[in-house]
């Protein structure tokens, strides 16, 4: 009788551990896939904003302030950014903060240096995301 009880308890413990391990593995796999999709979305949006580099290089600052649109991926995934690495978060927030700054500018001619910093921040954000993948 005691052997049956020990077997029952041991079987319950083994079953519970197997269930927990399986659930954690599925959670980890889903989280990993979600982060991969998030990184891919940011990389795509950052690449689509390459016209900022071109306009900054050509000195077309006024057109740049009128052309930049609100970032869809960043705004849609603001809650999930914290799941990325600290370096990724820092690079993305630094770039997108400055991108919003460009959108709000009326006369940018006297702020050319900051525009060129934004170009560097965009490139840094892309590199940081690529390194994390």
92 contact partners, CB below 8 Å, separation of at least 6: 42, 74, 81, 84, 125, 128, 129
SS3 assignment, position 60: coil
Q: What is the pTM of this model?
A: 0.78
* Interval 86-130: pLDDT, tens: 999 999 999 999 999 888 877 776 677 788 899 999 999 999 999
* Interval 31-53: pLDDT, tens: 889 999 999 999 999 999 999 99
| Ranges of each domain in the chain | 38-132
Residue 101 neighbours by CB distance under 10 Å: 16
12: tokens are 């319950």
């Amino acid at each position: 009788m005691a052997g049956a009880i020990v077997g029952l308890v041991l079987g319950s413990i083994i079953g519970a551990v197997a269930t927990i391990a399986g659930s954690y593995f599925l959670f980890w796999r889903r989280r990993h896939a979600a982060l991969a999709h998030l990184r891919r979305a940011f990389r795509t949006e950052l690449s689509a904003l390459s016209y900022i580099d071109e306009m900054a290089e050509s000195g077309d600052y006024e057109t740049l302030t009128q052309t930049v649109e609100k970032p869809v991926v960043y705004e849609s995934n603001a809650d999930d950014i914290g799941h990325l690495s600290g370096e990724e978060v820092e690079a993305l927030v630094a770039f997108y903060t400055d991108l919003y700054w460009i959108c709000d500018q009326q006369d940018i001619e006297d702020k050319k240096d900051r525009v060129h910093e934004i170009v560097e921040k965009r490139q840094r954000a892309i590199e940081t995301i690529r390194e994390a993948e």
